[in-house]
Amino acid sequence: MAGVYISWPFCAQKCTYCNFASGVFPRELERDYLDALCAEIQGADWTWRPDTVYFGGGTPSSMDVSALERLLDLVPGQPWLEATLEAAPGSLERGRVEAWRSLGINRVSLGVQSFVEDELRRTGRKHTAGGVERDVALLRSCGIEEINMDLIAGLPAQTRASWRESLEWVERLNPPHVSVYMFEIDEDSRLGQEMLLGGVRYGAGLTPDEDTTVALYEEAVERLDELGLPRYEISNFARPGHESRHNLKYWRLEPYLGFGADAHSLDGGLRWQNSEGVAEYVARWKRGEAARVEQTPAVPQEERFFVGLRLAAGVEASAAERLHFAEPIARLIEAGLLADTGQRLKLTPRGVLLSNEVFQEFIAPACPAN
CB of 281 within 8 A of CB of 274?
yes
Q: How far apart are CA 173 and CA 32, in angstroms?
A: 39
pLDDT of residue 85 exceeding 50, the answer is yes
Helices 278-286 and 27-42 pack at an angle, to 10 degrees, of 60
pLDDT of residue 355 exceeding 70, the answer is yes
This model's pTM is above 0.75: yes
CB of 239 within 8 A of CB of 146?
no
| Rounded percentage of the chain residues whose pLDDT exceeds 90 | 75
Residues of the chain with CATH 3.80.30.20: 3-250
**What number is the average pLDDT over the span 298-305?**
82
DSSP state of 321: H
Residue 275 CA neighbour count, 13 Å, CB half: 16
What was the pLDDT predicted at 369? 39
State pLDDT tens for residues 22-52.
566 778 999 999 999 999 999 998 988 999 9
What was the pLDDT predicted at 268? 80
352: β partners: none
What was the pLDDT predicted at 205? 61
CB of 95 within 8 A of CB of 142?
no
On average, the pLDDT of the chain sits at 90
CB of 109 within 8 A of CB of 86?
yes
What was the pLDDT predicted at 23? 61
CB of 173 within 8 A of CB of 136?
yes
Q: Count Cβ atoms within 10 A of the Cβ of residue 365 and give its class: 0-12 exposed, 13-18 middle, 19 or more buried.
A: exposed
Residue 203 CA neighbour count, 13 Å, CB half: 18
294: β partners: 273
- Model confidence at 367, pLDDT cuts 50, 70, 90, reads very low
**What number is the average pLDDT over the span 194-217?**
77
What was the pLDDT predicted at 299? 78
What was the pLDDT predicted at 366? 44
pLDDT of residue 19 exceeding 60, the answer is no
Which overall architecture, per CATH, does domain 3-250 show? Alpha-Beta Horseshoe (3.80)
**What number is the average pLDDT over the span 134-162?**
96
pLDDT of residue 276 exceeding 60, the answer is yes
Measured in whole angstroms, how far is the alpha carbon of residue 232 from the centre of its chain? 14
What was the pLDDT predicted at 354? 95
What was the pLDDT predicted at 368? 41
Residues of the chain with CATH 1.10.10: 300-363
What was the pLDDT predicted at 183? 82
Angle at alpha carbon of residue 180, lines to 101 and 195, rounded to 5°: 120
| Rounded percentage of the chain residues whose pLDDT exceeds 70 | 89
Which overall architecture, per CATH, does domain 300-363 show? Orthogonal Bundle (1.10)
